[in-house]
Each structure stands twice: as structure tokens, then as C-alpha cells.
Amino acid sequence: MESVIKWHTGEPKKAGTYIVTLENGLVFCDDYYCYMTLDGKVKLDWRIVDSSDILAWCPLSEIEPYKE
């Protein structure tokens, strides 16, 4: 079985778990999560990776699971 990854650029529009391609060529899995700042603003950001290091991303939900 084969699965094709459709890469996206820019910022995701919703929170979730994503596969990301980094500038250094590594592929990494990270969460894009929603939080509230101390001044009450709602923000979205990557949990582990700095957004400036991300070249492209793909939601895990777009990747088909393995089927025999």
C-alpha cells in the first residue's frame, strides 16, 4: 500500500497533529495547538518546533492508515 502526502505551506487554520518538514531536511510530528494569552487573546502555535523552521506541513488526518 502507498500513501501520498499532500504538503501545505503557511500556517494551519486549525489545531491538530501534523507531520512537518523542517528546513534542515528532517520530517517531524508536532501538535498545532490553541491557547489563551494572559491578555485574553486566543492564539495557535506549534508545541515543539519553532514555526520559522517549518517548510511545509500535512495533517495526520489526511494520511490513510495501513490496510492489508
Q: Render pLDDT for 34-43 as a digit per residue (tens, 0 to 9).
A: 999 999 999 9
Please give the radius of gyration of the chain, using alpha carbons only, rounded to the nearest integer: 14
pLDDT at 68: 81
Specify whether the backbone of 38 is left (phi greater than 0), alpha (psi in -120 to 50) or beta: alpha
Ranges of beta strands (E only) in 1-68 are 16-22, 27-36, 42-46, 54-59
Q: Please give the share of the chain, as a percent, with pLDDT higher than 90.
A: 85
User: Coil, strand or helix: which one is 8?
Assistant: strand
Q: Is the pLDDT of residue 7 over 80?
A: yes
Q: Is the pLDDT of residue 60 over 90?
A: yes
pTM score, two decimals? Answer: 0.86
